[in-house]
Structure 1
């Protein structure tokens, strides 16, 4: 995954602002085979109010708006991003159960003092494989 520094900075800002709750959103860009380029990020509302500290439910209206805007710009949604407050940037079983093949899943481990780790994953069959992140 190519993640330019300005997009990375936006993600860090959103992650810090939402702590200690999970924050989520979409990654906009282009995919060419296994190559994924992120041009922008969109924050989405987390509809999971009962377990907002360790679960997210991306608002479908935010998804639709992001998809519409991406298509208008000649781009597509290439993945989902979300935070793991006070936990590693590794996918949970809940993440795996909701994942779609072909998409990138960027997880930010965030703590009180800021983002500690970025890790991207892709579902391959029933398991996640780590995806390299480049600038």
Structure 2
């Protein structure tokens, strides 16, 4: 499993994570799924963290934002590939809460933000046992052909 993302879109995730620090940020990413093995991310879209109360340890995406994301994917002939969020001053590894609320098929990109700066970015996908397997992330410029 591999997630290919352009430098520009990866930077959007990092900038969002740094801007929302010390709170968790969240957003969606879209692109093309190549038969489940390679996912090419073409567009990143940030959304507001809808979590009430302390946002430094949790994020929540409003159901209306999910509906808008699904519509955007359909309208632009893209796959809604997954969700990204940040872990302020924590590793880019999914928490137990992340696992419990994760949906099959989606990729989950986590940006670790240490002292306000994006430090590590990793991607995860649920397996059939509802455990996370890590996906390889590679920066790639997508062809224009």
TM-score clears 0.5 = yes
Where does residue 134 of structure 2 map in the other structure?
130
Q: Displacement of 1:29 after TM fit?
A: 0.9
Q: Residues 102-129 of structure 1, C-alpha deviation per residue, up to 9 Å, x if partnerless?
A: 1100000012341000000010122101
Q: Give matches, 1:1-135, under 5 Å.
A: 1-33=3-35, 34-124=37-127, 125-135=129-139
Write out the 4+ residue segments of structure 1 that deviate beyond 4 Å after TM superposition: none
2:100, 2:59 → 1: CA distance? 13
TM-score, normalised via structure 2 length: 0.89
Q: Which runs of 5+ in 2 are unaligned?
A: 140-145
C-alpha RMSD of matched pairs (Å): 1.1
2:102, 2:76 → 1: CA distance? 25
2:90, 2:22 → 1: CA distance? 11
TM-score, normalised via structure 1 length: 0.95
